């Protein structure tokens, strides 16, 4: 598809087809397709080394693609990167602020990359410091800020050109829970204002709370795509019975629950159990409802299996990752 035929008011924020990144003999990104719609918060969830940052770097022009097609706001990254850069904002994984400058100066110096008058740049910088709650620190040196404040400053800096698309590479890695919440609330606010957000994360909670849609990435490939809840419903079930049980007893428990272990998700057809996963000393049974999850726990309890613990809980994206890869996001 040519750049022109791909462009128009309804352009997706990002469209990738068969995107590949090759480092020597190693493929970090192995032919992925992506479609990020305007106005949504789209997540790329995966463990370290999945290829998330490499994908982002191709999107914001830090590294060239090895093969495939990639359009950002309807423009081809191979030929129109300058124009793309004028209309996107980037929050990279590392805090690459200038430590010798004050907070406000970091914004003003960055504003010079864009075609902004001094007056507009100053106005926007002040507004953005307000937005991220750093107005009172405007004249502080960057190296006196906490990690959370630095992150918010990087977000403010990425917004100086009033971007249509904001790309955030692991925006809350290394932050404490309170600082993380603050960054999340700013991201939600931006989403409400109509900014398209594209973020990478290895925190399933971050993906579940913020993203309208997401892809799960591992080993340079996309394993699944959908809304957080839609993915959980399609690949597991909304509720999980988690039973602490030695692995040697998992088959026995499944047999006694009359689970057809050869059947796929949703085809097991036994008393609400839709799927199962054997995860070391835990047996996970995916169900439609909290009642069914609790009933599965009760039945195993009555059989004397799982004395070490039973939990009925909502299914998480971590369960889903386990289902898709055999590993949890925490171990991966």
Measure the CA–CA gap between 220 and 215, rounded to whole angstroms: 12
Measured distance CA(75)–CA(130) in Å, rounded: 32
Q: What six digits make up the tokens of 284?
A: 């996970």
Residues 6 or more apart in contact with residue 126 via CB below 8 angstroms: 104, 135, 138
Q: Is 182 in the site for ligand ATP (CB under 6 A)?
A: no
Contact 72, 86 (CB under 8 A): no
For residue 279, what are its two tokens?
A: 């995860």
Place of tokens 């090895």: 66
Distance CA 151, CA 268 (A): 46
Q: Is 92 in the site for ligand ATP (CB under 6 A)?
A: no
**Interface with ligand ATP (CB under 6 A), residue from 14, 42, 43, 52:** 52
Q: Residue 60 or 286: which CB sits closer to ligand ATP?
A: 60
The stretch among 48-56, 154-162, 241-249, 311-319 that binds ligand ATP (CB under 6 A) is 48-56
Residue 261, both tokens: 């272990």
Stretch that binds ligand ATP, among 47-55, 68-76, 118-126, 293-301 (CB under 6 A): 47-55
46 binds ligand ATP (CB under 6 A): yes
Rule CB under 6 A: say whether 32 interacts with ligand ATP. Answer: no
Stretch that binds ligand ATP, among 20-28, 112-120, 159-167, 321-329 (CB under 6 A): 20-28
Name the nearest CA neighbour of 265 among 251, 244, 242, 284: 284
Out of 14, 53, 70, 317, the residue judged to bind ligand ATP by CB under 6 A: 53
Q: Residue 58 or 322: which CB sits closer to ligand ATP?
A: 58
Answer yes or no whether residue 222 interacts with ligand ATP by CB under 6 A.
no
Q: Which position among 16, 19, 28, 222 is part of the footprint of ligand ATP (CB under 6 A)? A: 28
Q: Which of the stretches 46-54, 72-80, 188-196, 285-293 binds ligand ATP when contact is defined by CB under 6 A?
A: 46-54
CA 36/CA 14 separation, integer angstroms: 5
- For residues 49 and 197, what is the distance between their CA atoms, to the nearest angstrom? 22
Q: Least distance from C-beta 126 to ligand ATP, angstroms?
A: 33
Among 48, 127, 146, 267, binds ligand ATP (CB under 6 A): 48
- Residue 312 parent element (H or E): strand 310-314
Q: Token match 């809840």: residue?
A: 229
Per CB under 6 A, the segment of 45-53, 118-126, 232-240, 298-306 that binds ligand ATP is 45-53
Q: Tell which residue, 237, 253, 268, has the closest CA to residue 305.
A: 253
Report the candidate in 48, 70, 45 with the shortest Cα–Cα distance to residue 224: 45
Count of residues in contact with ligand ATP, rule CB under 6 A: 12
Least distance from C-beta 84 to ligand ATP, angstroms? Answer: 20
Q: Is 201 in the site for ligand ATP (CB under 6 A)?
A: no
Which residues of the shown chain bind ligand ATP in the complex (CB under 6 A)? 23, 26, 28, 46, 48-54, 170
């Amino acid at each position: 598809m040519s750049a022109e035929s791909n462009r128009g008011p309804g352009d997706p924020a990002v469209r990738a087809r068969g995107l590949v990144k090759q480092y020597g003999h190693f493929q970090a990104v192995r032919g992925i397709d992506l479609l990020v719609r305007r106005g949504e918060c789209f997540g790329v969830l995966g463990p370290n080394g999945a290829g998330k940052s490499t994908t982002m770097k191709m999107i914001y022009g830090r590294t060239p693609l090895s093969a495939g097609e990639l359009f950002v706001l309807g423009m081809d990254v191979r030929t129109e990167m300058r124009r793309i850069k004028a209309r996107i904002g980037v929050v990279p994984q590392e805090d690459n602020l200038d430590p010798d400058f004050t907070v406000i100066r970091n914004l003003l110096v960055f504003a010079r990359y864009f075609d902004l008058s001094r007056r507009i740049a100053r106005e926007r910088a002040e507004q953005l410091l307000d937005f991220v709650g750093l107005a009172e620190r405007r004249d502080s040196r960057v190296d006196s800020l906490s990690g959370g404040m630095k992150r918010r400053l990087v977000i403010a800096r990425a917004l100086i050109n009033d971007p249509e698309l904001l790309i955030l590479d692991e925006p809350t890695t290394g932050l404490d829970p309170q600082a993380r919440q603050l960054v999340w609330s700013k991201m939600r606010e931006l989403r409400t204002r109509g900014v398209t957000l594209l973020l990478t994360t290895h925190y399933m909670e971050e993906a579940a709370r913020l993203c309208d849609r997401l892809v799960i990435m591992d080993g340079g490939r996309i394993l699944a795509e959908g809304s957080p809840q839609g993915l959980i419903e399609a690949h597991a079930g909304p509720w999980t019975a988690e039973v602490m049980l030695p692995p040697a007893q998992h088959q026995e428990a499944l047999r006694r629950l009359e689970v057809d272990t050869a059947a796929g998700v949703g085809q097991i057809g036994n008393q609400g159990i839709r799927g199962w996963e054997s995860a070391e000393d835990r047996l996970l049974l995916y169900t439609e409802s909290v009642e069914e999850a609790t009933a599965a726990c009760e039945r195993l309890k009555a059989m004397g299996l799982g004395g070490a613990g039973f939990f009925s809980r909502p299914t998480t994206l971590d369960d889903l990752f386990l289902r898709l890869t055999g590993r949890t996001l925490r171990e991966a």
